[in-house]
Amino acid sequence: MGAQGLDPEVGTPDTPGESIAESEMPGRWPARPRRHGGAPHPLRLPGGEGGIEPAPIEWHIHFRKVPETMIERRNLHAFKGSPLVLEGSQTVQVGDKAPNFVAYKSLVDRVQLSDFAGKTVIISAVPSIDTPVCSNQTARFNKDVATLAGDIVLLTISKDLPFAHSRWCGAHEIKDAVMLSDAREGDFACKYGLRIREFGLLARAVIVIGKDGIVKHFQIVPEMSAEPDYASALAALKS
């Protein structure tokens, strides 16, 4: 359970007398837990030397409010032959308008797909940057996309924290990569139906979005431990 009796997973109070106002829940996320009266919960530290108690410190918790409906998809993704279940609030197909989503470049740098409106976008979704296949996929797309003409943006996204992304970019001497973390809100996984129920990670997938915001290519790699179809993704970028 989270601090002050809050369950950070389901976003419900578990201590009598605690509640969270619906007005504090824009979309799927509340800004911070509050008392019945609407005042923020303070966190007071133990008294210091001389018995002086520090001033109240406000704290913020982000937790996931489970969507009312969750779509489950089977037989699209597997790990070493074992079928996995993909979850999300919706599914996206070629020809659909690409849903906007929020992810993070760092702990505080918030990025949206809409930030790249008017550009061709390729999204490379990987389970974890610290695995060989994900590392190969990320390096390959960074190399290949750099050779293409046109206003193309490559977004690599995973459930890794931004620290892991920074470490990987440093180790591979890649300076301009846009590496996004979906760990904080899970917005991308939810809107694109790519959360692996069994692992809580993103399914390996490649999405190409045209300048008009329409999905041109969407591959969910059948085997989690296999690399994607690079040729098809690059062809979609060039078309």
Beta strands in the chain (DSSP E): 6-7, 12-13, 42-43, 57-58, 71-73, 78-79, 82-83, 86-88, 102-104, 110-112, 120-125, 152-158, 178-181, 195-196, 205-209, 215-220
> Which of 29, 45, 66 corresponds to the end of one domain?
66
Listed residues 43, 66, 89: the one ending a domain: 66
Do 78 and 47 lie in one domain? The reply is no
Instruction: Tell me whether residue 134 is one of the annotated catalytic residues.
Output: yes
List strand residue ranges (DSSP E) for 126-236, in order: 152-158, 178-181, 195-196, 205-209, 215-220
Q: Are strands 120-125 and 205-209 parallel, antiparallel or unpaired?
A: antiparallel
Per residue in 83-107, pLDDT (tens digit) is 999 999 989 999 999 999 999 999 9
DSSP state of 68: S
DSSP state of 9: T
- CA-based nearest residue to 163, from 149, 144, 133, 183: 183
| CB proximity list for 36: less than 8 A, separation 6 or greater | 17, 19
- Asked if 36 and 120 sit in the same domain, the reply is no
Task: Give yes or no: residues 47 and 121 share one domain.
Answer: no
Q: What is the CATH number of the domain that holds 77?
A: 3.40.30.10
Same domain, 125 and 62: no
Judge if 13 and 61 occupy the same domain: yes
Q: How many whole angstroms separate alpha carbon 102 and alpha carbon 121?
A: 15
93 and 14 fall within a common domain: no
Average pLDDT, the chain: 80
Distance separating alpha carbons of residues 95 and 217, to the nearest angstrom? 9
Q: What is the pTM of this model?
A: 0.72
The two three-digit tokens of residue 13, written as one number: 């109070």
Whole-number Å distance between alpha carbons of 233 and 217: 7
pLDDT at 12 over 60: no
Say whether pLDDT at 19 is over 70: no
Least trusted range by pLDDT, from 31-35, 53-57, 89-93, 138-142: 31-35
Backbone phi and psi for residue 66, each to the nearest 5 degrees, phi listed first? -60, 130
**Higher pLDDT residue, 8 or 95?**
95
More confident site: 166 or 36: 166
The two tokens of residue 236 are: 């979609």
The answer to whether residues 117 and 216 belong to one domain is yes
Looking at the structure, tell me whether residues 59 and 93 fall in a common domain: no
**Candidates 92, 111, 123, 134; catalytic one:** 134
Do 192 and 80 share a domain, yes or no?
yes
- State the average pLDDT over residues 152-169: 96
Question: In this predicted model, what pLDDT tens digit does every residue of 42-80 receive, in sequence order?
Answer: 444 444 444 445 445 444 444 455 555 789 999 999 999
Of residues 98, 150, 93, 122, the one with CA closest to residue 234: 122
Mark whether 210 and 184 lie in a shared domain: yes
Predicted confidence at residue 239, as pLDDT, reads: 85
Q: Are 182 and 159 in contact (CB under 8 A)?
A: yes
Whether residue 115 is found in the same domain as residue 211: yes
Percent of the chain, pLDDT > 90? 67
Domains: count for the chain: 2
Between residues 45 and 234, which one has the greater pLDDT?
234
The beta-strand segments (E) located in 30-119 are 42-43, 57-58, 71-73, 78-79, 82-83, 86-88, 102-104, 110-112
Verify that 59 and 173 share a domain, yes or no. Answer: no
Last residue of some domain: 18, 44, 66? 66
Structural domain containing residue 8: 1-66
